[in-house]
Amino acid sequence: MNLPNKLTCLRMAMIPFFVVFMYLPQSWARYVALAIFVVASLTDTADGYIARKYNLVTDFGKFMDPLADKLLVCSALICLIDTREIPAYVVLIIIAREFIISGFRLVAADNGIVIAASWWGKTKTVSQMVMIVVILLNINGWRIFELVLIAVATALTVISLCDYIIKNKEVLGKQK
């Protein structure tokens, strides 16, 4: 297993620790959760950079990297619903998009096609991660900024879904 794939696996392994610290009652625990989330998010940037720079792109990485991102982001969003810091409908839109894209990828994989993340998908992921970090920071007076980030992340989620479907609609026509 190459370094980018190890970083992807590390990101996935960090998720349970993030969730545990989100639910600990001590005030410092949220900052530990934030630090875990930031480090996990940075592994996404690092694994992609290393994979492209050193030609270490693999089918495992193309499949697991976006899945690790989805698990990290969705875990954080579900925790933020529980703390009432993000509306449930926003999380439903984001998770629904992820299920649709995962379904597309499964159909494609069944036909021997691996679909890598698009620019819109990567932008969507970054916007969601930035939104989560800002919400986790919980800075007084930033609620309007948080709401703008929530709106931007939600819009990019819908745009990336539409882009993905349009660019890959032939996958549905190639069913066995």
Domains and CATH numbers, the chain: 3-171 (1.20.120.1760)
In this prediction the pTM is 0.91
Q: Is the pLDDT of residue 176 over 80?
A: no
8 pLDDT band, cuts 50/70/90, is: very high
* DSSP codes, the chain: --HHHHHHHHHHHHHHHHHHHHH-SSHHHHHHHHHHHHHHHHHHHHHHHHHHHTT---HHHHHHHHHHHHHHHHHHHHHHHHTTSS-HHHHHHHHHHHHHHHHHHHHHHHTT---PPPHHHHHHHHHHHHHHHHHHHT-TT-HHHHHHHHHHHHHHHHHHHHHHHHHHTHHHHT--
Q: Could you read off the pLDDT of 95-152 as tens digits, one per residue?
A: 999 999 888 888 888 888 877 778 999 899 999 999 999 999 999 999 999 999 999 9
pLDDT at position 123, please?
Answer: 95
pLDDT above 70 for 23: yes
pLDDT of residue 109: 81
pLDDT of residue 175: 59
Note the pLDDT of residue 105: 81
The predicted-structure confidence for 51-101, as pLDDT tens digits, reads as follows 999 999 998 988 888 889 999 999 999 999 999 999 999 999 999 999 998
Residue 13 banded pLDDT, cuts 50, 70, 90:
very high
